[in-house]
Each structure stands twice: as structure tokens, then as C-alpha cells.
Amino acid sequence: MNKSETIGILGIGNLLVRDEGFGVHFINSFLNTYEIPDNIEVLDGGTSGIMLAPFLETIDYLFVIDVVDLDDKPGAIHCFTDQEVRSGKIAARMSPHQIGLLEILDLCKLRDKAPKGVEMITVVPQILDTGLGLSEILKAKLPKITEMLLESLQKRNVFLTRLPDGFASERAPSREAAMFDNV
């Protein structure tokens, strides 16, 4: 990574559909655990759809945290690039956001403003019923997904500093915004 490269970390999902909100819960946890340098942009993308385009157009390299619809056990972790998903080599659907995210990336490419690379770190959900909070299985996967993201960032020569317990990054969500994380 060169000093001018901007890295995006995007968590997507719907907090009102239990495990579907995994990406959003991940972002809240991540922002409350690590100091985020200026060249990294972290976004709770929720279910923003096309509204993600301005964010994506400012990113050189993107990491997406989401759930994936695969025939695998709940909590199984799978990593893909956007190219692998597009090629059809992966028989997976990246949650209901897959089509929207890939189409938005295509729009960014048309404008010559797409990230140069996209890595998706995903987990198979257990509960997709209406409700708040993650299943215990997915809640237990947050540390492993964090570890995997940190390893990927280190491969790009980005090393994050863990915040002392009780401190939150200046860029962390307010307590009100993160109130569903412990539900």
C-alpha cells in the first residue's frame, strides 16, 4: 500500500433481521476496538444501496463484511473477491445486498471511480427472522472476522492499534447508534 491509498471497510446488513445485520454489528465493534488511521474509511452501510456509490468512489481498496447465503453450517466463514462472485465460480449469494453492491460497483467502474480491489469477508447466518441482535453463533464469530480483516490489512502494510479498554475511536458510533449491538 502506498501512503495515498484509501482503504474502505464496509459493513452491510439490516439490524432488524437478526443475523442479516452482522456487517453493521461488526463495524460498531471494530470502531470501538481500534484506532482508525486517516487513510481508512469505515462505514456502516446498512441497507443503503445506491447511496453507497459516493463512498465507493473514494476508495482504492475495499473490504466488505456481510452474511452469505451458502449451503453451509451457520457461522461458516467464506472469503471472496468481487471477481470470483461475478465469474460464477462461487455458488453463493452475498445476502440480499449482493446484486445491489455488484451493480453499484459496476456504476462506479463506468465513472472510472471504482475500487481497484474488493475482498468480501462473509459468514453464513443462523437466524434471519425479524428481531434484534445476533445469534450466539454469529456473535462468537466477530473476533475471528476481526482477526481476518486485520491480517488482510497487514498484507497491505496497514497495522492498527487497539484502543485501551473503555475508550472508543473518535470515529465510533454514538452510544445511541450502537444501542442494538448488545441486544
Q: Quick check: is 11 in a domain? A: yes
Residue 75 predicted with pLDDT over 80: yes
In this predicted model, what pLDDT tens digit does every residue of 142-157 receive, in sequence order?
Answer: 999 999 999 999 999 9
In this predicted model, what pLDDT tens digit does every residue of 12-24 receive, in sequence order?
Answer: 999 999 999 999 9
87, 88, 89, 45: which is closest to 66 by C-alpha? 45
**Average pLDDT of 4-13?**
93
Q: Quick check: is 172 in a domain? A: no
Q: Quick check: is 103 in a domain? A: yes
Q: Quick check: is 174 in a domain? A: no
- Model-level pTM? 0.86
Largest Cα–Cα separation, the chain: 44
pLDDT of 176 reads 41
pLDDT of 173 reads 57
pLDDT of 90 reads 66
**Average pLDDT of 116-132?**
94
Reported as a pLDDT band with limits 50, 70 and 90, residue 180 is: very low
- Contact of 13 with 95, CB cutoff 8 Å: yes
Q: State the CATH number of the domain containing residue 163.
A: 3.40.50.1450
Full residue range of the structural domain in which residue 101 is found: 7-167
pLDDT of 94 reads 55
Q: Quick check: is 49 in a domain? A: yes
pLDDT of 69 reads 87
Domain count, the chain: 1
**What is the C-alpha to C-alpha distance for residues 169 and 167, in angstroms, rounded to an integer?**
7
- Contact of 120 with 81, CB cutoff 8 Å: yes
Q: Quick check: is 179 in a domain? A: no
pLDDT of 106 reads 86
Q: Quick check: is 107 in a domain? A: yes
